Structure 1
Amino acid sequence: MSRIVAGLIACANRTPLAIGLYLGAVLAAAVGVSVLEGWGFGESVWWAFVTTTTTGYGDLSPLTVPGRVIGVLTMFAGIIGIGVIVGRIAAVVIRTHDDFTHEEQVDLSQDSDEQLRLLRQIQRDLGKATGRPRA
Structure 2
Amino acid sequence: MSAPDLSNSLSGMPELPVGGDGAPVFAEPWQAEAFAMTVRLHERGVFSWSEWAEVLSQELYRPGRCADGSDYYECWVAALSRILAELSIVRGDDLDHLTAAWQRAAEATPHGKPILLENDPIGKGAA
Give me the TM-score of the superposition, normalised by structure 1.
0.26
Higher relative contact order, chain-length normalized (CA < 8 Å, sep 6+): 1
**Per residue, is there more helix in 1 or in 2?**
1
Give me the TM-score of the superposition, normalised by structure 2.
0.27
